[in-house]
Amino acid sequence: MSDSSLSAAAAAIFRTPQIPAPGHGSVDYEMRVDMERLRSYRLGRARAALEASDCGSFLLFDFYNIRYVTQTWIGGALGDKMTRYALLARGAEPVLWDFGSAAAHHRLYAPWLKPENCRAGMLGMRGAIAPDAGLMRSAIAEILSMLTAQGLHRAPVGVDIVEPAFLFEMQRQGLTVVDVQQSLLDARVIKSADEIMLLAQAAAMVDGVYQDIADVLKPGIRENEIVALANKRLYDMGSDQVEAINAVSGERCNPHPHNFSDRIIRPGDTCFFDIIHSYNGYRTCYYRTLNVGSATTSQRDAYTKAREWMDASIAMVKPGVGTDAIASVWPAAQEFGFENEMASFGLQFGHGLGLGLHERPIISRLNSFDNPVELEVGMVFALETYCPATDGFSAARIEEEIVVAPDGPRVLTRFPAQELFVANAY
């Protein structure tokens, strides 16, 4: 996206060094998130992806893609059961199949969808109802009938993710199925001004949670207590899903376990946390490292290295730069104790953020040298660095969320991280 092609809203949010996180509600006295503009943008990007493909329609099961196209959402416990699905056909409005009562709710509260296009659906809840029951067979017959009426039944149907039984039944009924996961990821990679503001608002909520964590991070508190505190504060502030929180302390820091435990935090511990939640669907992935009361030279040195690697990668961010250039400033796996890049994947790491936690681009020494991606204005991604300490058990972990602006990076994550933060120093 060139400077001249920026929308007025996008140009406005890039005018200052800080991306606005303007608050939860709409007001009449300043520009905030425009939900109708957001819906139009997302459906427009999906339609453009369909038009650019050889497909006559997209049949979507990935619940982030369903939200992107239909602007609907139900809780993750139901949304990930491969039962919700949506059809986007050329020249037609999106059709959504959902849990029966959810479909009825959409007909009342989602006026951007035609009421007749909000349909009850059930495919078996990931095999709990066996395919022999015929739910998949009748669902595909309904889709085939719709495509036949539109003259699209002979064109390929693009699917993002699918259960094997559903795929085989589509083929048995004569549909040509192709993979369009890549097309939808490409469609979602450039964020609109509204998406960027939602991502900024989600990050601002985590800024506040880190202050809460710093206040209570004292000897005797447990990792799981920190997780509980963070969950409560995020939901209090309006989070719609706290997907995961890592809380890692003391000897658990090295190697990184990517989870939390009931370990009691002790004096002098290094602790790092990753807070993953969403606000209006838009996610954070936001690490910070804090020490408890005091810090050793080894712990501070590890943090300094992790910060240097982070700053070097942020400095590379600007439109036109390849992700290989960012990965090149990070240490090779062998430089911090791993045998190869596969073994250390996810420690020096970048990943797109949006409705999904891991979108494009994915940046690492494992994949970016062979398959670099050119940065574009409107991309949003997290950069992560990790450095083990020479004491053999401590480690530093830092993560910053970055927006690619016309003149370089904008950082969404603002809790202090230039130096090792010592909480409740004594």
Instruction: Return the CATH number at 330.
Output: 3.90.230.10
Q: Does residue 389 belong to any structural domain of this protein? A: yes
Asked if 335 and 221 sit in the same domain, the reply is: yes
Asked if 94 and 232 sit in the same domain, the reply is: no
The whole-number pLDDT of residue 155 equals: 98
Under DSSP, is residue 209 helix (H, G, I), strand (E, B) or coil? helix
The CATH number for 125's domain is 3.40.350.10
Q: Does residue 68 belong to any structural domain of this protein? A: yes
Asked if 214 and 348 sit in the same domain, the reply is: yes
Q: Does residue 25 belong to any structural domain of this protein? A: no
* 249 in Cβ contact with 267 (< 8 Å): no
pTM of the entire predicted model: 0.96
* 271 in Cβ contact with 249 (< 8 Å): yes
Under DSSP, is residue 308 helix (H, G, I), strand (E, B) or coil? helix
How many other β-carbons are positioned within 10 Å of the β-carbon of residue 176? 15
Q: Give the helix, strand, coil percentages of the chain, each rounded to 5.
A: 35, 20, 40
Q: Does residue 8 belong to any structural domain of this protein? A: no
> Which of 128, 156, 188 corresponds to the end of one domain?
188
* Dist CA 352 CA 189 (whole Å): 8
The whole-number pLDDT of residue 3 equals: 46
Asked if 42 and 122 sit in the same domain, the reply is: yes
> Which of 188, 207, 230 corresponds to the end of one domain?
188
The whole-number pLDDT of residue 2 equals: 47
Q: Does residue 16 belong to any structural domain of this protein? A: no
Asked if 144 and 270 sit in the same domain, the reply is: no
Q: Does residue 271 belong to any structural domain of this protein? A: yes
How many other β-carbons are positioned within 10 Å of the β-carbon of residue 293? 17
Biggest CA–CA distance in the chain, Å, is: 74
* Dist CA 88 CA 94 (whole Å): 5
Asked if 302 and 318 sit in the same domain, the reply is: yes
| DSSP-assigned beta bridge partners for residue 241 | 278
* Dist CA 301 CA 304 (whole Å): 5
Residues 6+ apart with CB under 8 A from 253: 270, 271, 272, 388, 389, 393, 394, 395, 397
* 402 in Cβ contact with 314 (< 8 Å): yes
Per-residue tokens: 394: 């401590």
* Nearest residue to 287 via CA among 144, 386, 381: 386
Residues of the chain with pLDDT under 70: 1-5, 79
In terms of residue numbers, what domain contains 104?
A: 33-188
* Dist CA 176 CA 404 (whole Å): 38
Asked if 167 and 266 sit in the same domain, the reply is: no
In tens, the pLDDT along 188-207 reads 999 999 999 999 999 999 99
Asked if 157 and 233 sit in the same domain, the reply is: no
The whole-number pLDDT of residue 5 equals: 59
* 354 in Cβ contact with 402 (< 8 Å): no
Asked if 252 and 381 sit in the same domain, the reply is: yes
Asked if 175 and 309 sit in the same domain, the reply is: no
Asked if 52 and 170 sit in the same domain, the reply is: yes
First vs last Cα of the chain: how many Å apart? 50
Asked if 231 and 273 sit in the same domain, the reply is: yes
Residues 6+ apart with CB under 8 A from 399: 274, 285, 286, 287, 288, 382, 383, 384, 385, 413
User: Side chain identity at 120, as an amino acid letter?
Assistant: A
* Dist CA 160 CA 180 (whole Å): 5
Q: Does residue 138 belong to any structural domain of this protein? A: yes
Q: Does residue 101 belong to any structural domain of this protein? A: yes
The whole-number pLDDT of residue 318 equals: 97
* 56 in Cβ contact with 80 (< 8 Å): no
Residues 6+ apart with CB under 8 A from 225: none
* Dist CA 74 CA 78 (whole Å): 7
- Which CA distances in Å does 323 have to 317, 342, 374, 376? 9, 18, 6, 11
The whole-number pLDDT of residue 1 equals: 45
Domain count, the chain: 2
* Dist CA 189 CA 361 (whole Å): 8
The whole-number pLDDT of residue 31 equals: 82
